[in-house]
Structure 1
Amino acid sequence: MPQCQKFVSGLDAGIDVVGGKWKVLILWALGQGPKRFGELKRELAGVSEKMLIQHLRELERDEVVHREVHHAVPPKVEYSLTGSGTTLIEALRPLGAWGCDRKERLEEIRSAG
Structure 2
Amino acid sequence: MPRLTLAEQVAAEARDKTLSQLVRQASNWDRKVVAQAVLIWMRDHDTVSANDLRDQLPDVASGVLPGVLRGMSHNYLIHTGAYVPSTAPATKGHRIAVYRRRTAADQEVAA
Q: TM-score scaled to structure 1, two decimals?
A: 0.43
The structure number with the bigger radius of gyration is 1
